[in-house]
Structure 1
Amino acid sequence: MSQELAKDIAKRAAVAARAVANLSEQDKNQVLQRMADTLRQHQDEILKVNEKDMQAGREKGLSDAMLDRLQLNQERIEGMATAIEEIIALKDPVGDRYLLDERPNGIKVEKMRIPLGVICMIYEARPNVTADAGALCFKSGNAVILRCGREAIETSKAIAAALHEALENSNLPKDVITVVPTPDRDLMLQLLQQKDDIDLVIPRGGEGLIHFVSDNSKIPVIQHYKGVCHLYVDNDADLDKALKLLVNGKTHRTGVCNALEGVLVHQQIADKFLPMAAKALAEKDVIIHSDKRSADYFDGADVIADDAFGEEYLALEIAVRTVDDYEHALAHIQQFGSGHTEVICTENDDTAARFIREVDSAVTMANASSRFSDGGQLGLGAEIGISTSKLHAYGPMGLQALTTEKFVVTGNGQTRD
């Protein structure tokens, strides 16, 4: 049964992808505006369904981080609608062409951006992904299959119903955006076998989900691993600036992948900065896990071994380490970072440039909060995810990352000798 259902879902999406692939940018934008409008119109119904998912999540004992991801409110639904309108404002990459070369025999070699086809998104308790991924895939000329976790499935169906209304009012098939009707794992496994109709799989969630998808998929996978993000406070840092980056990165919103999970402090400024950090983090009730060198600056710090760093807390908790120098900080990031986002605070332009060049992560920042590591904040509109693998995309994935390129060759009857 699961195999037949998976085949049917994939084939319907492949047919729908052809219906959207050749729409003009103007037509796409009109449909997207209808999507934003219908989300606002159906806000009350979506919130009622979401409250039921929230109640079920509480009864199951979901963590605060998971509940935060699951919860919708009026502001977050407006945020989804606004994100769609931001996508409308972005240039459609599909059809863009650029010249590579004009050969001596007169043929012109160009490359042109085209949709990927059918994208399968697998995610957990993030109902906003339903709207974000649906809109991004649509604008980039793709169909999308959305398989969300059990915790958010009813909310995701409610969001999809609003998007389907917009599609039907535009004479487009609902299968352009498909929400898999059940979170059954066997159905997900069968979807991962549909390589003839699905072109790309993007999982977003815990490590267990990522590994399961990567290990079982016959379709190319873009991985979105955990976000173990660090702030390195250099010996040339402006300490007030560093404190702002630390507090914002850790406490602005804890249950997200771009929240800080570690802070590294150069030993030369530890005596000045760590008391500042201790006071500010205590005011926010942040639990401290630290190395022995840093522990005395914090009341009740949990001292951890040097090989115990690298946790993704997704809570008001952070790991603190005093490092000998820049090289020590870099070695720590290389060992414990997850390739998501790394931040340096320094007034030394040479050190900042070196950090940006040498740190291996999808996003590197100098003197800016890790919370900006987000497609919307970086000007991409909504994002479909943050890729921590380097093929075919790296970092926040917006419209262009949901397309590929093909060669276009034009001539005037030339033949090869």
Structure 2
Amino acid sequence: MLSAKSADIVRATLPAVAGAIEDITPVFYGKMFSAHPELLRDLFNRGNQASGEQARALAGSIAAFARMLLEHPDRRPDVMLSRIAHKHASVGITADQYPIVHRHLFAAIAEVLGDAITPEVAAAWDEVYWLMAGALIAAEARLYAQAGVADGDVWRPWKVVGRLEETPEVTTFMLRPADRAPSPPFRPGQYVSVRVPLPDGANQIRQYSLSCAPNGTDRWISVKRVAGTATTPAGEVSNWLHDNVREGDVLTVSVPFGDTVLDDGQSPVLLASAGIGCTQTISMLAHLANTGSPRRVIVVHADRSQDTHAFRTELDLLVAKLPDAQAHVWYERPAGEWPAERTGLADLSGIDLPQDVRAYLCGPLPFMRAVRSHLLDRGVPPSRIHYEVFGPDLWLADA
């Protein structure tokens, strides 16, 4: 909780800080990477830095945290903090890195806002930062303890024991611990980070859902090749994995993290995905089928065509295994005969949704925004709608 004095100052200055924060964050990253080039080389996603997405996500999280402290002083924004903590833990962030961020962030704030940052204003926002940082440090320490590792020590060698070409764009890599140690457990919906050495000497990290766990040892990740566009760079890590990794190679992979996980209740479930977001759906479906779950399960998936739809066969097989499950699939450009009402973008308006449904979304932001808005309009509470974003979270959904 903010002190009364700091709350008054933050309330008065929030419009100015929030309005300038997208100018502040590029200055902040420039200062930090100049002083610590190893952070850009070996920790931060260079593609997201180039596109500006990481800066926008940081700006949104700081402004949202400050706003929540003012609007709800009696409670913390735990949903947002949990999401950030899981992302941080998956790349091995440790408490000693927070002072580095603080130093360069506040230098950037002072540079951009100039005389408006009086000592009193700086002290109030310093309190905001350390409230957020302290909560994240504590949450990350708990996650490391739950995973049975020392803080930041999340990396292990995994041997590639198989490779499957799911579609021309999606490849599944079957992994097994290279040190023959037991595989860490995971909950359906969680992801791992993969750290790869690139030709320029950088060690870049990306997150991938665990798409399947066929036995007690192996873990599967399914990776989509990412082509560059006029505004976004090509996927450094995904393309490197496609082009270079074969059976017998060893990858550096983290223990599993992620807070968008299938609950253990008995309420109906909606699994909504688009594109490569199907990896989360398949993981949850496999768990439901393997445990003989009697839950009602509704699957919604959207893709460009049958040819780009990874796990098409697995989706049908898993749905058939469940006693009360159905799948609804839309293709934008069907390759052959396909129902007109399932052509184009996904439309949930004709799907019967139980009142107590719990929804899990994974896919591009426009898809998830549309599905979430539809669910809210139909009376599904925000607390029952969960989503996963890979990369910077540019969408702070209501808790």
Decide: shared fold, TM above 0.5. no
Q: Please tell me whether Structure 1 or Structure 2 has the larger radius of gyration of its CA atoms.
A: 1
Higher relative CO (Cα under 8 Å, sequence separation at least 6) belongs to: 1
Q: TM-score, normalised by structure 2?
A: 0.35
Q: TM-score, normalised by structure 1?
A: 0.34
